[in-house]
Amino acid sequence: MIAYLSKMRSSASEMAGGETTQFLKLSSAVFYGLSSFLITVVNKTVLTSYRFPSFLVLSLGQLTASIVVLFVAKRLQLVKYPDFSRDIARRIFPLPLIYLGNMMFGLGGTQALSLPMFAALRRFSILLTMLLELLVLGIRPTLAVKVSVFAMVGGALMAALDDLSFNLQGYMYVMITNTLTAANGVYMKKKLDTADMGKYGLMYYNSLFMILPALVGTWLAGDIDRAWQYEGWNDPFFVVQFLLSCVMGFILSYSVILCTQHNSALTTTIVGCLKNISVTYIGMFIGGDYVFSLLNALGINISVAGSLLYTYVTFRKKPNGGGGSGDAASSDKKLLLPAAGRIDNV
């Protein structure tokens, strides 16, 4: 009887632990999605609606906010991360470079492109993340993951062929951002597992190491003078949104690390893509620069279907048992097939 009760207690503990893990996965993904959506809207408002001249200065504001908030939080003992030492840069390299480039080129793409165009081009980061996870982390995607990723990328290509107006600078910014987003997610996962820095330490030292190079680069580009001469500083609504953008940069950085820690790097990228889908639909009605076409609408909806499929595959509860990767792959394969083996309706 005692052995039976002990076994029951152990089973209940395992179930509770599984529920907690599932909640952390889902909540961290939702938190990242909301943060990413809000910062996209605020950044677009600051850079386009208010015509703020420099996305580089805005990125400086976001770096500064991350440093100040984390420094004060550590002083108040609200967060913990390692004190500075000479080997920290070596331990977290190349994350600071990826972090800075991702931030700057992402803001540049937001300024140069309309929201539907920006969102469509950002979906190419998904395929890059899947390939990098395979090469760097050795993670092999299952069949369901592959189908969902190719559906999203294929839908984005289909939509792009019949909707996008060419902007060379904007295209270059977004494609660079796609590459850096994939690299950031994969290497963030690797450093969280091995560097003993913690999410707060990575966020703080990424910003700290890059603030001076970013400041010098912004000054050399002449953006500090352009920002200083900007006439909108007297507008309190602009100032509030500028400061909100800076703070949201910190919140977004935290949410990316949290989502990557509790999920995979590919999941973090897919959640970002789900956000981009929302931005695409909002841009159709609010941006005023979307022209409907059947091929474009079909491509967007294929991409949405791929996103929903991946979300279900990722967050569905795993069946109990010690099945290996082969069982997982088999399960995903069955998930994509109709009942009773029928394939005529696939």
Read off the pLDDT band of 317 (50, 70, 90): very low
Instruction: Determine, yes or no, domain membership for 161.
Output: yes
Number of H helices, E strands in the chain: 14, 0
Q: Look at residue 330 and tell me whether its pLDDT is greater than 50.
A: no
How many CA atoms lie within 13 Å of 330's alpha carbon, on the beta-carbon side?
6
pLDDT digits (tens, 9 = 90+) for 20-64: 788 888 888 889 888 888 887 888 888 888 889 999 999 999 899
Higher per-residue pLDDT: 286 or 173: 173
Q: Write down the pLDDT at residue 338.
A: 34
Q: Write down the pLDDT at residue 9.
A: 46
**Segments forming the whole domain that contains residue 200:** 29-317
Helices (H), 162-293: 168-194, 198-220, 223-228, 236-262, 265-282
Instruction: Determine, yes or no, domain membership for 203.
Output: yes
Over residues 149-155, the mean pLDDT reads: 87
Model pTM score: 0.69
Q: What distance in Å separates the CA atoms of residue 36 and residue 272, rounded to the nearest whole number?
A: 7
Instruction: Determine, yes or no, domain membership for 233.
Output: yes
pLDDT digits (tens, 9 = 90+) for 180-233: 888 887 777 776 665 577 777 888 998 999 999 999 999 998 999 999 999 999
Sequence-ordered list of residues with C-beta below 8 angstroms from that of 19, at least 6 positions apart, any chain: none
Instruction: Determine, yes or no, domain membership for 136.
Output: yes
Instruction: Determine, yes or no, domain membership for 62.
Output: yes
Q: Look at residue 334 and tell me whether its pLDDT is greater than 60.
A: no
Higher per-residue pLDDT: 222 or 4: 222
Read off the pLDDT band of 237 (50, 70, 90): very high
Q: Write down the pLDDT at residue 322.
A: 43
Q: Write down the pLDDT at residue 310.
A: 75
Q: Look at residue 289 and tell me whether its pLDDT is greater than 90.
A: no
Instruction: Determine, yes or no, domain membership for 341.
Output: no
Q: Which of 113-122, 262-271, 283-292 shows the lowest mean pLDDT across its residues?
A: 283-292
Residue written as token pair 């390939």: 131
Q: Write down the pLDDT at residue 333.
A: 42
CB 165 within 8 A of CB 121: no
Instruction: Determine, yes or no, domain membership for 228.
Output: yes
Tokens describing residue 102: 């991702």
- The mean predicted confidence, pLDDT, of the chain is 77
Instruction: Determine, yes or no, domain membership for 7.
Output: no
Read off the pLDDT band of 286 (50, 70, 90): low
Q: Look at residue 271 and tell me whether its pLDDT is greater than 60.
A: yes
What's the domain count of the chain?
Answer: 1
CB 107 within 8 A of CB 170: no
Q: Look at residue 308 and tell me whether its pLDDT is greater than 60.
A: yes
Q: Look at residue 154 and tell me whether its pLDDT is greater than 60.
A: yes
